[in-house]
Structure 1
Amino acid sequence: MTKTTNATADWRMTMPEEWTVKQLAEDGSEVEIPLREHPALRDYKTKDEAVKALVHAQRMLGKTPEGYVRMPGKDDGPEQVAAFYAALGRPEAPDGYALPEIDLPDGFEVQEAMLEGFRSIAFDLGLTPEQVAGLYQWFLPLVLDTHAGLEAEARQLKDSELESLRAVHRGETPRMLDNALRTAEVLGGKDLLHALDQTRAGDRAAVIAAFAKMAPLVLESGMRTSGSGWGEELSREKLREMMQDPRYHDPLKRDPEFVAKIRKGFEQLYPGDYIPGSRL
């Protein structure tokens, strides 16, 4: 009895060797191989299985398989693009995206205009609700962490600049800072102080030192006046001297008219919301 080999048992070996087909080689070139050696036939155990698969493939030609979504081409219009995005799961409008709740630090609030812009861009890109929610949940904490890092860096810079001023001016640092602040306020008012805060220029030692150097001209020579009702030269030194008077600092001997005179002197010497003794 003759033993059957794998070659003779393989139905593909019954196919004539002269039946050939084009096939891509590993190097990308096209070669001609016997049909019975084609890799696609290895998945079928018998000839009947291969024939049935061929008939089924022929029946499916021209039909759209279940779950198939055709990607729009460059010649397709907005309607075809919208249909494509809708098939992928995009909502009908930007407000159809539901964003997850995220705990925000105290003092933080996400502006509604930013959320509307976020939804609008996501809609234009054809993102699904799941993609938008995931992106938002990743992006917002990243923004908060970045902001916290910038704030910490700004505080560190401010402390470093202040320490450099203390190293130079020692015990005179508070008075120098006060002079710089009042000079800036006299020169530019609240608008200048706001600009210095917003740009953080007011935290820089060089800026503070520059305003402090202008203080003798602005706060003393420039603002020094005879003072209506004073009858004497008005100056910071004079006000300091008067604040040592018991009529000002002693509760038992306090004189309201004398106190009012000192307050009026500060108001004339330092225009703005200034409280005597708060910075001197």
Structure 2
Amino acid sequence: MTMTKDINDWRATLPEEWTVRLTGEDGEEREIPLREHPALARYASKDEAVKALVHAQKLLGRTPEGYIRLPGPDADAEQMAAFHAALGRPESPDDYTLPELELPEDLELREELIAGLRARAHELGLTPAQVAGLYHWFLPLVLDAHHCLRDEAQRLRDSELESLRAVHRGETPRLLDKALRAAEAIGGEELLDALTRTGAGDRAAVISAFAKIAPLVLESGLRGAPSGWGEELSREKLREMMQDPRYHDPSRRDDTYVTKVRKGFEALYPGNYVPGGQI
């Protein structure tokens, strides 16, 4: 590098033995005379270069305005809190404001989930804008997944019901009623709720299985079924019998007939029968 005689000739007064290592454009590091260093070319005189050096020394160890120092690996909770606050994290998780998004009528976000989101965001040091942006992006994805699962569940129910209709045709409603009553008699509301939550109650094989054991559970002596029932015992049949004057007309009341209806309800709802309560 050859230094020309111009306003920067002051560099020529620097001792030639003062050298410095410089990485060139080719990536190679070389040792050159200090007076040929490109950084000195910006100063018109030695005085300007010295003043710049003194100013740079004053800045060493100081934090420039707007600069946030990254905590080290050994930073304590107080230092991390100060760092997150400088980045814009609110004081409390409750200070995060989530955008208003339209939800389906059959879907409601649980408060504990929203509280957990805010707490985790605060722990990670996220800013309100970051949390709102993530929420606005992620919630529609959850809703789409919810809709897909719901639609798939409905398709499964329709498919299973269609398979039952293909086999039982017009008897399908009666089959469904028998299966429901058998499941209720065996496990009550707890079993019915489990079948609903797991989707097992929508499967044709499960419905058929409960329908097959219905006679044993509902109409056999094991469940105290009344004698004298020549036809299949069902809720619909009992409703029909209650319309008979022998049951509801005091002037034509038949105690034997009324007893038969009562025992029918006792057989359908063992342990839960309340006179006049089951219709």
Any residues of structure 2 matched to 1:95-114 within 5 Å, and which?
95-114=94-113
1:270 aligned to 2:268? yes
Offset, 1:129:
1.4
Any residues of structure 2 matched to 1:165-244 within 5 Å, and which?
165-222=164-221, 227=226, 232-234=227-229, 236-237=231-232
1:163 aligned to 2:158? no
1:95-138 deviations in whole A, cap 9, x for unaligned? Answer: 22222222222133322222222211111111111112222222
1:236-266 deviations in whole A, cap 9, x for unaligned? Answer: 4377997799x8668xx78624785665354
**Amino-acid identity (%):** 55
Letter in 2 for 1:8: T
Offset, 1:40:
4.9
Q: Is the 8 A contact 2:234 2:268 kept in 1?
A: no
Q: 1:91 to 1:248 in 2, by over 3 A?
A: closer
1:135-168 deviations in whole A, cap 9, x for unaligned? Answer: 2222223222222221111111111111222222
2:55 corresponds to? 56
TM normalised by structure 2 equals 0.75
Letter in 1 for 2:228: E
Find the aligned partners of 2:237 and 2:139 in 1 and give their Cα distance: 57
2:129 corresponds to? 130
Find the aligned partners of 1:206 and 1:92 in 2 and give their Cα distance: 56
Letter in 2 for 1:81: M
Letter in 2 for 1:162: L
The total of aligned residue pairs comes to 263
Which 10-residue stretch deviates more, 172-181 or 28-37? 28-37
Offset, 1:203:
0.9
Q: Which runs of 5+ in 2 are unaligned?
A: none
Find the aligned partners of 1:241 and 1:57 in 2 and give their Cα distance: 95
Offset, 1:41:
5.8
Letter in 1 for 2:147: A
Find the aligned partners of 1:176 and 1:235 in 2 and give their Cα distance: 19
Q: 1:179 to 1:55 in 2, by over 3 A?
A: same
Q: Is the 8 A contact 1:97 1:129 kept in 2?
A: yes
1:8 corresponds to? 4
Q: Which runs of 5+ in 1 are unaligned?
A: 1-5
Q: Is the 8 A contact 1:166 1:173 kept in 2?
A: yes
Letter in 1 for 2:4: T
Q: 1:37 to 1:164 in 2, by over 3 A?
A: farther
Q: 1:18 to 1:183 in 2, by over 3 A?
A: same
Find the aligned partners of 1:241 and 1:135 in 2 and give their Cα distance: 54
Q: 1:41 to 1:172 in 2, by over 3 A?
A: farther
Alignment RMSD, CA only? 3.8
Letter in 2 for 1:130: A
Q: Is the 8 A contact 1:226 1:233 kept in 2?
A: no
Q: 1:26 to 1:211 in 2, by over 3 A?
A: farther
Which 10-residue stretch deviates more, 263-272 or 26-35? 26-35
Any residues of structure 2 matched to 1:25-174 within 5 Å, and which?
30-33=29-32, 35=34, 40=39, 44=42, 46=44, 51=49, 53-174=52-173
Letter in 2 for 1:173: T
